[in-house]
Every structure is written in C-alpha cells, then in structure tokens.
C-alpha cells in the first residue's frame, strides 16, 4: 500500500463509508471497500482478502445496535450461519483457482444484484411498514432449508469474492424468506460477521491480506457502522427498501463495468 498521508486518509475514509453501508444495509461493506482499495493501489490479488478483517469489527458494532432494538431473530442466524461458515472457507480456497481471476464471477454477481435491485424497488414491495401480525407470519414462513440455502450462497460469495455475503442475504431473507426488511438486515449483519472469521483466517494463511490497509479500514468501520445502523433503525420501511434497492443497483452497475473493462484489457 502507498503510505502517503493522502492515501492513508482516503483509506480511513473508505473504512468509515464501508461501516455506514455495513450498518445500514447489513452487507459487511466489502461491496464498497473492495473496489475502493483497488482504486487506492492494492493489487487485485490482495483486494479480496484485505477487506475481510475489517468486516468483523464493522459487523459487531452494527449488531450491538440492532440487538438493543430486538431486531435480530437468532433462529434465522442459527440456520444460516453454520453452513455459511463452511461455504466461506470453501470459497476462500477456490478463489485462486477460478478461471478469469474472478472477473466472470463478479459479472454474474452483478447481474444477480441488478435483478434483485429491480425486484426490491417494485411498487408492490414498497407499500409500507410491516404489521406485527405480518412479522409473526413471516417468522413462521422462514423455512429452515431456505435459510440454509441463502446462508450457503452468501458464505460462498464471501470467501470467493470478498463481498461479505450480505448482498445475497439481505434480499434472500427479505424477498425469499419474507422476513421484515430491518430484521433481514440485522440477521444478515450478524451472519456477515461470523463468515468473516474463517474467511479471514483462510486468506491470511494464503498470504492474501495487506494488513496495513486492513488495519486502516478497521479503524474507520466501527464509528461508521454505528451511524449506519442508527440510520436504518430510524428510517421508514418504504424509504429503506428503496435505499437498499438503489444501493444494490449501483453496486451491480459498478461491478459489471469494472469487471468488463478488466476482461477487455
């Protein structure tokens, strides 16, 4: 990493924004920090692993706020997290063996995010808040096998692409399992933090982490995550759903353009 004062400040700023996105959207934040540190000069081979150590403190800071608001449904975490951990390790081990250095996987992920963004932004999905009765029905409808499948897909992407997995879990929990959005964000953030531990250890053993950059990101994510979680809790469901849909759409476009340009070089 370039250790000039400007680069250090920009890395810290990337950490703060990463934390805000993590706390607000339950995504772990690497969807932003991975491309950000690549722009700041971290090689593509290290960018995926380097963002992972900053995910855990970000997830913990945001989770604490969500737990205080009773938004975490622990049975959801219990079904999704264990298989996600195994999938994260598998994804980390496969990251260096995937043809195209992960570019085609990033493009496929971008397409999935774009479709999810469209689904979440549809008028039928932004009609208003969720009633207590709907929350109870959603809790019953969250089939364990569906939660396991969402956790597995998220964990695999977390280890393989360093995107935290929340970009899959939030829409997966919300759109497929019909879990209320704020609870989906909270549960996703808990799982993201759990996934980050084995994924970090695996990439560390492979020598894929720039620890100076990771440390600077970690310093910024904690205050950012607390702010992001507070914003999500105070935001109405309609606006929050549109914000999540918009964010996923932007990420999809940025990922797709970046990886297509990389493939064309």
Among the residue ranges 68-82, 129-143, 203-217, the one predicted with the least confidence is: 129-143
Give pTM, 2 decimals.
Answer: 0.78
CA gap 226, 214 in Å, rounded: 19
Q: Hey, what are 264's tokens?
A: 């064309």
The pLDDT of residue 237 is 82
- Mean per-residue pLDDT for 75-98? 85
Eight-class DSSP state of 173: I
Q: What percent of the chain has pLDDT over 70?
A: 85
Q: For residue 187, what are its two tokens?
A: 């549960």
pLDDT tens digit sequence for 108-139 = 777 877 877 887 787 655 444 444 444 444 45
Q: Output 264 or 132, whichever has higher pLDDT.
A: 264
3-class secondary structure for 1-14? Answer: CCCCHHHHHHHHHH
Boundaries of every domain in the chain: 5-264
Q: What does the pLDDT average to over 94-112? A: 69
Question: What is the spatial distance between Cα 165 and Cα 51, in angstroms, rounded to a whole number?
Answer: 13
CA distances (Å), origin 22, targets 28, 71, 99, 170, 208 = 5, 16, 29, 11, 22
Strands (E) across the chain are located at none
Confidence of residue 83 (pLDDT cuts 50, 70, 90): very high
What is the tens place of the pLDDT at every residue in 13-71? 999 988 998 888 887 667 678 778 888 888 877 887 888 888 889 889 999 999 999 99
Please report, for the chain, how many H helices and E strands are present, in that order.
11, 0
Give the tokens for residue 105: 């996987």
């Amino acid at each position: 990493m370039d250790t000039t004062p400007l680069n250090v400040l920009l890395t810290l700023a990337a950490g703060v924004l990463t934390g805000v996105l993590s706390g607000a959207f339950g995504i772990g934040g690497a969807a932003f920090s991975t491309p950000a540190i690549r722009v700041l000069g971290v090689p593509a081979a290290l960018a995926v692993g380097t963002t992972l150590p900053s995910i855990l403190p970000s997830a913990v800071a945001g989770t604490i706020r969500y737990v205080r608001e009773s938004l975490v449904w622990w049975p959801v975490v219990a079904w999704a997290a264990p298989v996600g951990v195994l999938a994260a390790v598998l994804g980390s081990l496969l990251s260096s063996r995937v043809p195209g250095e992960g570019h085609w996987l990033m493009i496929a992920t971008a397409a999935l995010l774009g479709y999810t963004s469209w689904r979440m932004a549809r008028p039928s999905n932004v009609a208003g808040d969720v009633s207590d009765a709907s929350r109870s029905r959603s809790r019953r409808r969250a089939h364990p096998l569906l939660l396991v499948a969402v956790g597995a897909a998220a964990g695999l992407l977390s280890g393989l692409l360093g995107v935290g997995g929340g970009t899959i879990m939030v829409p997966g929990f919300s759109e497929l399992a019909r879990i209320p959005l704020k609870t989906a964000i909270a549960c996703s953030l808990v799982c993201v933090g759990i996934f980050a531990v084995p994924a970090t250890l695996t990439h560390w053993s492979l020598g894929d982490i720039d620890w100076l950059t990771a440390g600077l990101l970690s310093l910024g994510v904690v205050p950012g995550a607390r702010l992001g979680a507070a914003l999500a809790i105070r935001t109405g469901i309609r606006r929050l759903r549109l914000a999540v849909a918009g964010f996923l759409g932007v990420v999809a476009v940025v990922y797709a353009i970046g990886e297509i340009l990389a493939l064309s070089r």
